[in-house]
Structure 1
Amino acid sequence: MGILIIIGILILVIIILFVGWRYASQRRSLPCPVWMKWMLDPPFAWMSGRTRKTIEYLDVNPGMQVLDAGCGPGRVSIPVAKIVGQTGNVTAMDIQEGMLAEVRKRAEKEGLSNIRYLQGGIGEGKLGKEQYDRIVMITVLGEIPDHERAMQEIYGALKPGGMLLIEETIRDPHFQRVQTVRDLAGGIGFVEKGWHGSRFNYCILLGKE
């Protein structure tokens, strides 16, 4: 019985932390801590099935300019940099320098020199106009207090015909419902190009006409 009580208390604490983090993140930016980078993406040489699907949906080709907005430790930045090659470029953007340092380390290990590093938050005006063919946001939107401002900047940074991929999972404290994303994106001017997954774990592809 003692063990069951302890397990129950641990589960309760996890639930409280999850709800508390989600509530607080709606009021100010609370990105995933740098010390959790190994849990987010272990630095293995192979790509996970999840990462392969994300890149497949993103439809990246050699020579493209790609922004990994809220890149974390580089789960998507590194493999995409390999695909776009030396004629293309990946901008790894994150609000935390510690995350960018991890991407740099992994890029050096892989011999990649086509990654640009940009520290800052989405919506801060650090992105240029019509710079990117593809932009990817993996469980990032919910970490940003001003969703509309961030999406407007993302829209402006895309080239005409460019696409934005947003990936969300219920496991993330900042999870955004697909209808919330659709309403926000439609108001900005995005056109939905595709949707994959379920209500609780999905990728949505949005185009700029």
Structure 2
Amino acid sequence: MSLLRLENVMASYGASQALFGVDLEISEGEVLALLGRNGMGKSTTVKCICRMLQAEGRIEFDGHDLTRLPSHRAARLGLGLVPEGRRCFGTLTVYENLIAAARSGSWTFERVIDLFPRLGERRDQHAYSLSGGEQQMLAIGRALMTNPKLLILDEATEGLAPIIRQEIWAVIRRLKAETGLSILVIDKSLSELKGVCDRATILERGKSVWFGTLDELNDDVAASYIGV
């Protein structure tokens, strides 16, 4: 059953159009990769889904039309965003960050700590004092504490040390294997994405140009649209 569906989504920043027709679909329990070179519209698509940017076209989530909803109402329907750049609340402690937007459900502080033991060790530290990797763990934990139906990871491993990237990927694999949570992943590591994603959508200049599984993503397609 479809959880999220975008049809011919278009969006602009003032007079500058950024999206020219994005189509994607995520089913319940599915992990979808959103791929494309830098500047092709991936983060803009996320902003449209989360209602941080006005869009034309159709955006449906869990049976609801999102196109006219404000961001806080869309979030309450079950969108959990891990934004690019983490954006933790620096002057709040780890614990305070995690409970700030918590909603009732299976994801609790204790469960997040089981997923990220390091956050338990840093419980009373302010977020600004954490390493980049720890802040990324905190951002993921904070999104999970909203008990989302869809977790959106926007460049969750960008700029992190290799060992921390591997920890994040291990968590994503664990979430898929143990929870059945639907996940939208934006990342550049095709090798890691192949181990966790069911399907992928590629954007080129603000438009969806390719759909399929990661196994179907051949070298010619990757070279044309991803640059690898």
TM tier, shorter chain?
0.3 to 0.5
Q: TM-score, normalised by structure 2?
A: 0.35
Structure ranking higher on relative contact order (CA contacts 8 Å, 6+ apart): 2
Structure (1 or 2) with the greater helix fraction: 1
